[in-house]
Structure 1
Amino acid sequence: MKKLKTWYWVVTIIFALMMLMDGFGGVTQQQAGKEVLKHLGYPMYLLIIVGIAKLLGALTILQQKFTAIKEWAFAGFAINFIGAFASRAFVGDGVALLIPPLVALVIMFIPYVLWKRMQENVKNS
């Protein structure tokens, strides 16, 4: 259980930091984000909305008290990554631009699965 908990926290913190950085970039409207939104045909204000959602989601997955909200945060990240993949596919981007959202989705599932395993271990104890 201790090894599982350690791995859970390591990957969760890394993922949360990734989302905090990305969310901060959205809220501060970094040029790279603006260029992507323009390329995909989305309005610029979406950058701030998604940025705030990522910041809140990152903080939410780090807390342990409100499990339902934590589930929603993981679901939100999954929807975000699937939406990013679909958006890239719909505008005809190449494979090199289609892969990163899928990689992010796989990375997101690692802390999620470890969290679920920890919950099962607590139930069975």
Structure 2
Amino acid sequence: MKKDNIIYWTTTGIVCAVMVYSVINFNLKNPIGPEVYRTEGPFQHLHLPDYMRIELSIAKALGVLALLIPGVPGKIKEFAYAGFAITLVSAAIAHFSVGDGPVFIIDPLLFLCVLVVSYVYYNRRLQTAKARAGRQSVMA
């Protein structure tokens, strides 16, 4: 159980850190990243409208809160996982579409793998908690 918790919180922390970083970075006047980000901005470089920056920033912030705050209903956490998965796949496709190098395409897919591990261990922790609750109700 302890190993599961360590893996879950480590992978969830990595995913949330990446999402928080992107929210902050994409809203900076001079974002960190390739020169093209500093000259034209990441969303313009990917041929995305500026309102997507606002929508994604809000959605990512809410998703991070959903994953990190204890007691958030499971369905909300499921939506956060799904939203992050869609965002990461979309990022890889967007970078591929504008001709960015392999690093920019592979990077979001690596974080997608970390997200999948977090999700698997989220479900494993739920199953363990349900099993433990079932044993305690039988004993009572």
Distance of aligned partners of 1:12 and 1:49 in 2 relative to their CA distance in 1, 3 Å threshold: same
Counterpart of 2:30 in structure 1: which amino acid? Answer: Q
Matched ranges for 1:86-105 at <5 A: 86-105=93-112
Task: Give 1:94 shift.
Answer: 2.7
**Equivalence for 1:18:** 18
Q: 1:62 aligns with which of 68, 71, 80?
A: 68
Q: How far apart, in 2, do the equivalents of 1:108 and 1:30 lie? A: 29
Residue by residue, what CA displacement relative to the aligned partner does 1:49-79 show, whole Å, maximum 9, x if unpaired?
Answer: 1011111101111123211000000000000
Q: How far apart, in 1, do the equivalents of 2:30 and 2:5 lie? A: 38
Task: Report the structure number with the largest CA radius of gyration.
Answer: 2
Distance of aligned partners of 1:93 and 1:13 in 2 relative to their CA distance in 1, 3 Å threshold: closer
Q: How far apart, in 1, do the equivalents of 2:98 and 2:68 lie? A: 34
Residue by residue, what CA displacement relative to the aligned partner does 1:93-112 show, whole Å, maximum 9, x if unpaired?
Answer: 23222111111111211211
Q: What CA RMSD, in Å, does the superposition of the two structures yield over aligned residues?
A: 1.8
Counterpart of 1:52 in structure 2: which amino acid? Answer: I
Task: Give 1:30 shift.
Answer: 4.1
Q: Percent identity?
A: 34
The 8 Å contact of residues 29 and 47 in structure 1, kept in 2 or not, is answered as: no
Matched, 1:106 2:105: no
The number of equivalent residue pairs is: 124
SS of equivalent to 2:41 = helix
**TM-score when scaled to structure 1?**
0.85
Counterpart of 1:12 in structure 2: which amino acid? Answer: T
**TM-score when scaled to structure 2?**
0.77
Structure 2 gaps, min length 5: 32-36, 133-140
Q: 1:50 aligns with which of 42, 46, 56?
A: 56
Structure 1 gaps, min length 5: none
Q: How far apart, in 2, do the equivalents of 1:123 and 1:43 lie? A: 44
